[in-house]
Structure 1
Amino acid sequence: MKKLLLPTILIILALIIAACGDDDTVTDSPENNQTDADQSTQTDQDETIDNGSTDNSTDDNADDNTNNNTAANINYNFTSFNLEADFENENDAVDVDYEVETDETEASYIDKQQGINLVGNEAMDELDSIFNAFLFDENTADEEVLSEVLEAFNIPEDASNVELEIDFASGVEKEYRR
C-alpha cells in the first residue's frame, strides 16, 4: 500500500503544477491602477475587458462595481506587437508579445540580457512606457520603425536577426526584418 501512495501523491502534485502554468493575460492596466478606496468597492467578479471603450472615466452607478479599467483601454496605435531579436550569440535574446483580442489582452516580455521574464500585468507595467513613447504608425518608413524599436528595447544595431510584426489599429498588418 505504501508503494502506491507515493507515486499517487507525485502524480497529483505534477497535475496541480501543470495546471498552474504561465498566464500572460493582462487584467489590470498600468495607468489605471486603482487606489485602495476604489478597490474596496470592487466585487469578487472577474475583471472584464471592454475593447470598444476609449473613455476611462469612472461610473458613479452603485449597481456596477466591476472593474472595466484594463489594458484593453490603453490606446496604442497597434493591436498586436511581436518582436524577436537574436544577438550576442543568443537566440530570442529579446522576445516581446502583445495582443489585444476580443475579450482579453495578452502580454509577455523577455530580455535575456537584462534578466527580464515577465507575463501578464507585470509585462504590461514594463511595456506601457515603451509603447507610449513610440511615434511611428503604419505609414512610417520601415527603417525608421526598426530604428525606434531597436533603441527602445536596447537591441544593438549589429543584431543578427530582428523580426517585428505589428497589426495597426487601422487594420494594416506589417512585417519588418533586419
Structure 2
Amino acid sequence: MKKLAFLVATSALLVACGDKDEANNVPDNAPVEQNQKQSTSNTTTTTVDAAFNFTHFDLDIEYVDNKSYEVSYENEANGAEVKIEDEVNNSVVQGNEATNTLIPIFESFTFDANTDPDTVIDEVLQKFGQPNNFISVEIDIQFADGTKKEYRRTQ
C-alpha cells in the first residue's frame, strides 16, 4: 500500500512539474503542426496572416572550444516546446521566457521554403546576432505547408 501511495504521489508531482520547455504564450496565429494521423492534406493549419511560416525551427551553431548556440522551437497540436541553449554565454532559456525572445525574431524573418539556402543562413545568423566565426551552422525548418528544409554551412 505504501508503494502505491508513493507511485501516485510521484506521478502527481511529475504531472504538476510539467516539461520546462513547454510554452503557452505562442501567438494564436502561429502555424501549428497537426496530428500526423490525419490525412496528408490536413497536416497543418495555416492562416493567411500567420505570425511566421513554420511549425518547427531548429538552429545549431558550433563554435570553437566545443561551444554552441542552439534553438529549438516546435509548435504541435498538443502544445509548444521552446528552448534556447547558449553555451557561449552559459545560459539556458526555455518555455515562455524563450518564446518571448524568439517570437519577435521569427516574425522578422523574410524567407520562405523557396529562398536560397545561403540567404536563409545569413538572415538567421544576422537576426539572432550571431557572429560569422562559427565552425558550422545547421538549420532545420518545417514550414507550415509541411515542407521540411535543411540548411548547412561549415567554415
The letter for the 2-side match of 1:135 is T
For residues 138 and 98 of structure 2, the distance between their equivalents in structure 1, rounded to whole angstroms, comes to: 20
TM score, norm. by length of structure 2: 0.70
**Aligned amino acid, residue 88 of structure 1:** V
Q: Per the alignment, in what secondary structure is the counterpart of residue 154 of structure 1?
A: coil
CA distance in structure 2 between the partners assigned to 1:80 and 1:133 by the alignment: 16
Which of 38, 55, 62 is equivalent to 1:86? 62
Q: In structure 1, which of residues 100, 105, 109 is the aligned counterpart of residue 84 of structure 2?
A: 109
**Structure label with greater radius of gyration:** 1
- Aligned twin of 1:23: 20
After superposition, the Cα gap between the structure-2 partners of 1:22 and 1:171, relative to the gap in structure 1 and judged at 3 Å, is closer
1:171 CA drift (Å): 1.4
RMSD of aligned residue pairs (Cα, Å):
3.0
Shift in Å, 1:144:
0.1
The 1:159–1:53 alpha-carbon spacing in structure 2 relative to 1, beyond 3 Å, is closer
**Is the alpha carbon distance of 1:28 and 1:137 closer, same or farther for their aligned partners in structure 2, counting shifts above 3 Å?**
same
3-state SS of the aligned residue for 1:83?
strand
Aligned equivalents of 2:77, 2:28: Cα separation in 1:
21
By percentage of residues, which structure has more strand?
2
Alignment of 1:139 with 2:136, yes or no, is no
In 1: Cα distance, 2:131 partner to 2:79 partner: 33
- Residues 112 and 30 of structure 1: is their aligned pair in 2 closer, same or farther, counting only changes over 3 Å? farther
Identity %: 38
